[in-house]
Amino acid sequence: MTPDDVVVLIRDAVHRAVAAGDFVAELTDDAVVVERPKSREHGDYTSNIALRLAKSAGKPPRAIADAIAKALIEADGIASVDVAGPGFLNLTLAADSLGVIARSVVEQGRAYGTSSTLAGQNINLEFISANPTGPLHLGHTRWAAVGDAIGRVLTAAGAQVTREFYINDRGVQMDLFAASLQAAASGEPVPANGYHGEYIADLAAQVVAAEPEITRLNPQDQLLAFREGGYRVQLAQQQQVLDDFGTHFDVWYSERYLHSSGAVERGLNTLKEQGHTFTEDGALWLRTTDFGDDKDRVLIKSDGELTYFASDTAYYVDKRNRGFDVCIYLLGADHHGYVGRLRTVAACAGDDPESNIEVLIGQLVKIMRDGAEVRLSKRAGDIVTLTDFVAAAGVDAVRYSLSRYPADSPLTLDLGLITRRSPDNPVFYVQYAHARLSSLQRNAAELGIVRAPEPNLALLNHEREADLLGALAEFPRVVASAANLRHPHRVARYLEELAGIYHRFYDACRVLPMGDEPATDLTHARLWLCEATRVVLSNGLGLLGVSAPERM
RNA sequence: GCCCCCGUAGCUCAGUGGAUAGAGCAGUCGCCUUCUAAGCGAUUGGUCGCAGGUUCGAUCCCUGCCGGGGGCACCA
């Protein structure tokens, strides 16, 4: 019996109690909430429905709880119902209705945890979108991990997801980039406002190696060649790094293409049609103050140049024209001033900023090493890159340690801790549980034990087994809420809890027979439970893009 | 000045109105003669920044204040 099944039982019980005249109530669809109680004494599931109905029913919550309990106890699969505290309903399930969860999980396999809660939603998920002028740094790494996990969780919840990376390959930063490469190649000092990282010299050398004739070009052509050559090399490098990291994009969208394809013009036309543009001081403005911005924004400068804001606006309209219902932007904290503006853009384009656009801000990641903060500055070159981080800690540890926290709160990581590959890092705790389970199955196979096709799952009545079954049943709800809230860290936290519950089960409940003893019905029931746990750990780690090792 | 994030155990952090506020690490004490001890058990540790308000009930929602971080452009 799943939590959703319990919800249905309670709803039916309320209806029966109302029909019997015990109290008066109207149930909305989401009124009945069932939770796993914190304390084992409170049964398998608990509901506060009586407390919620008390006011409108005009009766004390405990009286309502008693009436519901009376109707509920008759339902199949319910072993006992207690009314506790101010009026909580505490349910204990019959052992067999809890045990069948194990079978259901195993049979659903990789599909267990998926749902259709977001079915029909076509979502554009844009993240990282780094300039092609340097390596990916720590801020990008956070989104590479969390953004990818959000994509996986949304997909699991039934949404159609397109991951998109916007390439800022237009604008003055590209020229600065070119000038920096040119200077580095000819051994001259990099311009003061250029890019100073050590990678610039490497990039310049790579460009020269790929196109040796570049050194003989006249300065102007050479500048152009460095810009394009550097762009190609740097972009390819970013793509390779992300590929190695396990974060894959469906669309790499170039800002140049946005302009060359006419999308900018179309976007500006859409805004004009909606009537929110005006001309002043020779510039074209968007009246974002109509929707709460503190000031209007310029689209086309008085010198005829498009602003970056114009590109962003057109890009949003273009996404919508491509058929996306929801455009999610994952941005760094330094872009938070952009959130309000993007929302007004949606409003100016005639959309609903509450539903068509969503901007998530990733707060700063601070890295401590030997008690001191590692400072990050992209242009100065003192950066921790994604590649450095992965080289130091490995893909799994980096992905996991970033995605077990909500992205919208600042984060401090101890590099020493992560690189130490010690159990301090929860990813090892979770992966270890999976490795233990895999090992156990190898041992079972060696003993010639094959899971019985018709196990007696009612035998799973040990307290630790009930804990494990209850936790397994929660997984689909965890994934759905992670998707709805765009909070994949909930999956990670859940996995840590599940791993803990499994380790405690393992400690208390022997699975395989000792010595020459034969396999019993309990052995088989527990093997189903173990495989169900392994499936959920594997699926959950998969949602975070972290591997589920069979050996450690 | 205006806007955003944060303030929970010694440290790093979970906790989208419910029961006795949790985890890991750090500290203390135990458990390997059989499935991975990268594990398990026990124990120490809290005015949930402060003050009001809403509610049967607030760490959570609202208002104000205090403290820390980040952001404001006819830049990209």
pLDDT at A370: 67
Q: Which two tokens stand for residue A80?
A: 């006992």
Question: Residue A164 to residues A148, A155, A327, A328, A343: CA-CA distances in angstroms?
Answer: 11, 14, 10, 10, 19
Proximity of residue A171 CB to strand B below 7 A: yes
Order of strands, edge to edge, in the sheet holding A326-332?
A: A251-254, A160-167, A122-126, A326-332, A357-362
ipTM above 0.85, yes or no: yes
CB A424 within 7 Å, strand B:
yes
pLDDT at A376: 45
- Does residue A364 approach strand B to less than 7 Å at its CB? yes
Q: From the CA of A44 to the C1' of B8: give the distance in Å.
A: 28
For position A377, what pLDDT does the model report? Answer: 43
Question: What distance in Å separates the CA atoms of residue A511 and residue A513, rounded to the nearest whole number?
Answer: 7
Nucleotide closest in space to A436 (CA vs C1'):
B36
Strand order in the sheet with A297-300: A277-280, A283-286, A297-300
Residue A154 to residue A161: CA distance in whole angstroms: 7
SS (H, E, C) A28-50: CCCCCCEECCCCHHHCCEEECHH
Instruction: Express the helix, strand and coil content of chain A in percent, nearest 5 each.
Output: 55, 15, 30
Q: How far apart are CA A80 and CA A72, in angstroms?
A: 9
Q: How far apart are CA A357 and CA A97, in angstroms?
A: 43
Q: How far is the CA of A436 from the C1' of B27 (A)?
A: 29
Which bases of strand B have any atom within 7 Å of the beta carbon of a protein residue?
Answer: 2-7, 12-16, 18-26, 34-41, 56, 68-76
- Looking at the C1' of nucleotide B32, which residue has the nearest alpha carbon? A507
Sole residue written with tokens 């809230």: A485
Please give the pLDDT value at position A424: 64
A510: the nucleotide nearest its CA (via C1') is B35
Smallest CA–C1' separation from A363, nucleotide: B5
pLDDT of residue A308: 86
| pLDDT digit string (tens) for chain A, length 552 residues | 899 999 999 999 999 999 999 998 888 777 888 998 887 788 899 999 999 888 888 888 899 999 999 999 989 999 999 998 888 999 999 988 999 999 999 999 999 999 999 999 999 999 999 889 988 888 889 999 999 999 999 999 999 999 999 999 988 889 999 999 999 999 888 887 888 778 899 999 999 999 999 999 999 999 999 999 999 999 999 999 999 999 999 999 999 999 999 999 999 999 999 988 999 888 999 988 888 777 888 999 888 888 888 999 999 999 999 999 999 999 888 787 788 888 889 989 999 888 899 988 888 787 777 666 665 444 444 567 888 888 888 899 889 989 998 888 778 777 767 666 666 678 888 999 999 999 999 999 999 999 999 999 999 999 899 999 999 999 999 999 999 999 999 999 999 999 999 999 999 999 999 988 999 999 999 999 999 999 999 999 999 999 999 998
Q: Which of A301, A271, A308 is nearest to A284 (CA)?
A: A301
Nucleotide B16's nearest residue (CA vs C1') is A485
Residue at the smallest CA–C1' distance to nucleotide B74: A301
